[in-house]
A and B are shown apart, each in its own frame.
Chain A
């Protein structure tokens, strides 16, 4: 598979296959019923032997789930229902063509797009990590093997010694995709060089950022890419045992991972004497109990050891003293999913993608106020604007894009005017954001940036493990300051106090959680200071989000005096003569919004 290959959902030798996404998102939208319906209808039509239904992982365009792509032509059907499934099969069986009415249309009245790869959402993506996601049945190893799974491992075990393997990964420029961006080859080097006979390889699948689902999708869609990466990494560092630390909240990922391990063991691709090479590696799945902080590597190790997930001070780094005190390498899901591709295609092919010190591609979970949300993989160096507007289609609904939060609760918020910043570790750090693990939340003008900061602080404060003072109490005090600003109780000097405290928390905290928790507050102050000031001095929230600072008004020009609002108001806050414009009493109003819902003329607004 070439690095240039765009999102192409094809099959071998032109056979016909209906690929239906059974990732968590599409399953929620009913894709399992749709898949059953496809199979039933095909059987009824007597076509079940020539047309295969493949239950795949994530195709990417989660917004339009259940997503169905019919090979070999790659015909794309969004939001498929069982009824549509019957129609699609009928057309396919009759003349091999597609149902025009069910095709994807970028907007009402626009021409439909037939092929999945032609959808703007996919046009500028480049799939390495997600190379088999949405293509193969994740529960069938033969599917993955047919598309090159474990070819990288075969090459490693047959041709490369650990030293040249590490050199190859270093040369590719691959950096940790969990957030910190440390050079993967260097991490392997340190663990390999550490003294000790017993070493461990851990895959960090404790994805916890709100709005992020990259790792879940990779494991759900192509678990073998991760396992293959783990075996290769284990071979590089000299480990014979490993763990995948995965959130228990990802039951489908856990299930598919366990199945993949079982199947890989049956084929001699995992376990003792892998492929007759004499190298052995066993993997165990450890389910996390839901603490965000366990994504931090030392807390993750403590959790595997059976202790409360609390980080410890580094150094010593896990590479020298990790799990059970032994040298341990911890790589993120996405990082590992890149490894086999690099081996199979060469370090040069990988480092040829991306820019400067940021090589390869990056997977993002694109969510929020964006027209097409979903899972995307883009080459490093693409601008945030191309990602949000080119792939995501902008904010939609005629609203202007206001900002993008990159890197989840540890990341920063980037205003619209800085969206030409390229997706590179260094460039994003310069503007106060981070590449992070890949959560990307788009917000429009209807989002209050103070409230936005409050949301992320609520999350990080809640998830602080409590070990160190700046994170435990500092984020709490920050949250209290931000909260009082959103409630209209902000005082002069609060912004400066918040900034000062944020810097102290960043500097004095023990682990990455506390060191990055102030980022959303700091970047919203940096880029949207005027919103903070308005909340404090004018007691005004321009987005109309902060309840205490907003009020409901009836526009006299459009109010017909029908009294529907008066009838529904639970506290009698609305008065007015019939057929005359009505008024809302600010004192009495409890801001429940019932009047807005019932007004037949859209005359009531929250301002």
Chain B
């Protein structure tokens, strides 16, 4: 039975005594205490998986090399995370992964943000000692402009499969085939469209390598050339925390921080991919007022004054019920509350509705 989360346990990791809350995994406890354990299949949004085998540790009283991501920390546990044996096994796993990974880092959009690259760097591995068959270029048909799959880089960590199932409930991906050929794929290797994908791009956000990439961002900027400007997504009232990747004053992509906001790293299709309007030449930069049949740029003061004046005169001339208001789902609850106040208290009508009701 899970113990009450408030209970504090003591465990020893690499000779250090650490305090941990019950219910945390060994990996979580190590991370909280600055002990680095490499992982590839782990994502805090997902259930522990234990597939990549990089987070192997040794725990007294447990056989072999348990995965720290799946093992719950327990009182009195004695953990070793950096013995020679563990380091050798991790190195072997990375070497195996690199033997089936197309090293096209020069043109890969994930370069610099690639977990495999980071781990290979950490272990100082230049190339895999194992040569052999590699995954072929996927011969399926992809007919969308948002997500690209590149199986020559896929490390089969299953994060795309799991986020689509566990977080999105969409099940666009599943594992197909067995043995070396086993890969995350769509049913019958169909296109993402045909598989019912809603293009939230969550799979792209969790892919630790460059196997799933965001096509609108492609070749627009390397990770080290961009800064992240945090904002609130303006598409709906949820108010997701969104980080716009900005290069030379222009947005080139969107992501979400895992640890903050209501969305904790998740975004929908609009938030993730719908940012190109920002720099679109047709985008309105100022309010426009129609003068003599022509829309002419105006200041916000001019525009708001004009609206207030016209609403006042319509109410005076035709009565309050001649006016109606339609609120937007892009606004927050608070904004919608104020809007109905405006209609009911200031204008004096109950003619108020919301686009979400349509």
Contact = CB atoms under 8 A, between A and B. Distances in A.
B93 interface: yes
A440 B48 CA distance: 38
Nearest to B184: A466
A515 B48 CA distance: 20
A291 B178 contact: yes
B56 A467 contact: no
B133 A476 contact: yes
A476 B93 contact: no
A539 to B, nearest CB: 21
Nearest to B69: A313
B235 interface: no
Contacts of B100: 473
A508 B89 contact: yes
B179 A469 contact: no
A466 B85 CA distance: 24
Interface residues on B, range: 35 or more
B178 A466 contact: yes
A308 B176 CA distance: 9
Interface in B88-120: 88-89, 92-93, 96-97, 99-100
Interface string B64-98: 11110011000000000000010011001100110
A504 B158 CA distance: 22
Contacts of B282: none
Interface string B211-236: 00000000000000000000000000
Interface string A482-504: 00000000000000010001001
A308 B156 CA distance: 15
Nearest to A510: B50
A195 B1 CA distance: 8
Contacts of B96: 469-470, 473-474, 477
B309 interface: no
A466 B157 CA distance: 9
Nearest to A462: B179
Contacts of B178: 291, 293, 462-466
A509 interface: yes
A472 B89 contact: no
B183 interface: yes
B174 interface: yes
Given A469-B96, A504-B88, A497 B177 contact: no
B154 to A, nearest CB: 11
B51 interface: yes
B99 A473 contact: yes
B338 interface: no
Given A308-B174, A462-B178, A480-B132, A468 B51 contact: yes
A312 interface: yes
A10 B338 CA distance: 93
A310 interface: yes
A508 B156 contact: no
Given A470-B53, A480-B133, A510-B51, 18 more contacts: A310-B175, A313-B50, A461-B180, A462-B179, A464-B178, A466-B181, A467-B49, A469-B97, A470-B92, A470-B93, A472-B182, A476-B132, A476-B133, A476-B180, A477-B96, A477-B132, A501-B130, A508-B89
Interface of A: 195, 291, 293, 308, 310, 312-313, 315, 461-470, 472-477, 480, 497, 501, 504, 507-510, 515
23 contacts: A291-B178, A293-B178, A310-B175, A313-B48, A315-B71, A461-B180, A462-B178, A462-B179, A464-B178, A464-B179, A465-B175, A465-B182, A466-B182, A466-B183, A467-B182, A469-B155, A469-B156, A470-B96, A475-B179, A476-B132, A477-B99, A501-B130, A504-B89
| Interchain residue pairs A-B with the least CB separation, the first 7 | A466-B182, A313-B50, A504-B92, A476-B180, A473-B96, A313-B70, A480-B132
